[in-house]
Amino acid sequence: MRVTTAFNKMVGLPGASVATVTFGPDGLVLGLRRRTGRPVCACGRRGTGVYDRSVRRWRHLDWGVSKLWLEAEIRRLDCRRCGRVRTEQVPWARPRARHSRDFEDVVAWLAQHTDKTTIAALLRSSWQTIDAIVGRVVGERLNSARLEGLLRIGVDEVSFRKGHRYLTVVADHDQGGRVVWAGEGRNAQVLEAFYDELGPAGCAGLQAISLDLGGPYHKATNAKAPHVRQCADPFHVIKLANEAIDKTRRMAWNQARAQPTLTRGRGRPRNDAPPPPRNQPRWVKHSRWALVKDPVALKPSQLDVLHELRRSGSVLYRCWQLKEGLRDLYRLADPADAPAHLQWWLQWACRCRIPAFVTLAKTVRANRERILAAVELGLSNSKLEGINSKIRLINHRGYGHHSAAAIIAMIYLCCGGITVHLPTER
Ligand SMILES: [Zn+2]
């Protein structure tokens, strides 16, 4: 068998065959011969007017320990449809790429599974190359119809670069929480840009949106899609209740610390002496998880803390009851009971005389309609929270260190429903 035939079978490139095999200082170079003569423009038009010719190399998957390069003549065309000179499209590589499709698909597949340093070392490439490849694969594979026919969406902010910068992420509730859009920043303009991209028809089709209790997304939705039913995301409501607990707990802790501690007399205490008082401040400080966690998930030691708080008539126990009372809103067997339950809770919270909870009650009252809409429609951003932790993982893997564009491309690649097939799977 001739060496060119062997390589032809091994690399299996579409639209070309291996004509020459040479060893260069940089590795193995396969000279390609095109099967069809007429060049194709990037726009898809088969052109005839060749403007000029040059030789280009594309990096392909390594052959053993040596790098493998594909080399072919590439032409520029005077395309009548595009009205300018453009480089022809080759079947084994994406437009403007200096790597073959197979190489880029392997990079994208690895990027879905592992960190950037590993890929760079394994494939002997740079971080910048990997970012560029991910951007190209996402540009080609991201479904352009993903913004069509959206009915129920969720929007949330996501931090990257250790919380110094933010993205706004929009997910489709009806597609299992798939990310359909992401933009840099967390203000009203960013979400308005999404509504603009959706267009008037897309906005008109929207039925409901789940969002946080804060202002910007609410404002953008009022401005661009006022007919959409807004739902306050339960996660954010409970988060506010937990923050109110934290505030009260800190206050209780500071008060307890301010009290003079009892000092024990000299010598060993008598056997029948009462037990020494618990170290109150320390104990209040360590009650946090017992108070904010789901009671079903509490450890025995945390349950003991709750019982202790109840026995001592602590204000923290009342806080815990108020928080669980609010959570019960989302555990009602019949959502039709929600307005009455919320009314009962608001009355309780308004009169509880715990400042943090009185403030919370005011916020809840102001957002009453949106909170009830979330219960009625059963919408929550819990899937977005899952995406949030996935994005944190992407950030840790080294994709969030540079530009927002790079991390947005990675979010589409990992959470946007893109399937990448390895060359060996085709
Ligand atoms: Zn063209």
Do 289 and 353 fall within a single domain?
yes
| CA–centroid distance, residue 7 to ligand 1 (Å) | 32
Which domain does 251 fall in, by range? 234-256+279-377
pLDDT at residue number 135? 93
pLDDT at residue number 235? 87
| CA–centroid distance, residue 80 to ligand 1 (Å) | 7
| CA–centroid distance, residue 36 to ligand 1 (Å) | 18
- Given pLDDT bands bounded at 50, 70 and 90, which one contains residue 260? low
pLDDT at 280 over 80: no
Q: Is residue 116 part of a domain?
A: no
| CA–centroid distance, residue 138 to ligand 1 (Å) | 22
- Given pLDDT bands bounded at 50, 70 and 90, which one contains residue 263? low
pLDDT at residue number 401? 66
Name the CA radius of gyration of the chain, rounded.
Answer: 31
Q: Is residue 202 part of a domain?
A: yes
Query: DSSP label at 256?
Result: H
| CA–centroid distance, residue 96 to ligand 1 (Å) | 14
Do 332 and 204 fall within a single domain?
no
Do 24 and 88 fall within a single domain?
yes
Do 362 and 399 fall within a single domain?
no
Q: Is residue 133 part of a domain?
A: no
pLDDT at residue number 350? 84
pLDDT at 35 over 60: yes
Do 242 and 323 fall within a single domain?
yes
357-364's contacts with Cβ under 8 Å and 24+ in sequence apart are 357/244, 357/248, 357/319, 357/322, 359/244, 360/240, 360/241, 360/244, 363/213, 363/240, 364/237, 364/240, 364/326
Do 325 and 342 fall within a single domain?
yes
Provide the 10 A C-beta neighbour count for residue 424.
7
Do 248 and 227 fall within a single domain?
no
pTM: 0.81
**Rounded distance, CA 358 to CA 352, Å?**
7
Q: Which of 20-29, 101-110, 274-283 has the lowest mean pLDDT?
A: 274-283
pLDDT at 358 over 80: yes
Share of the chain above pLDDT 70, in %: 92
Q: Is residue 169 part of a domain?
A: yes
Do 226 and 240 fall within a single domain?
no
Do 312 and 389 fall within a single domain?
no
Do 289 and 220 fall within a single domain?
no
Q: Is residue 199 part of a domain?
A: yes
Q: What is the mean pLDDT of residues 187-213?
A: 89
| CA–centroid distance, residue 44 to ligand 1 (Å) | 6
Do 303 and 173 fall within a single domain?
no
Domain count, the chain: 3
| CA–centroid distance, residue 42 to ligand 1 (Å) | 6
Q: Is residue 240 part of a domain?
A: yes
| CA–centroid distance, residue 139 to ligand 1 (Å) | 18
Q: Quick one: CA dihedral 381, 386, 391, 392, positive or negative? A: positive
Do 239 and 349 fall within a single domain?
yes
pLDDT at residue number 297? 77
| CA–centroid distance, residue 47 to ligand 1 (Å) | 8
Q: Is residue 201 part of a domain?
A: yes
pLDDT at residue number 378? 83
- Strand blocks (E) in 111-225: 152-160, 165-172, 178-184, 208-211
| CA–centroid distance, residue 105 to ligand 1 (Å) | 25
Q: Is residue 109 part of a domain?
A: no
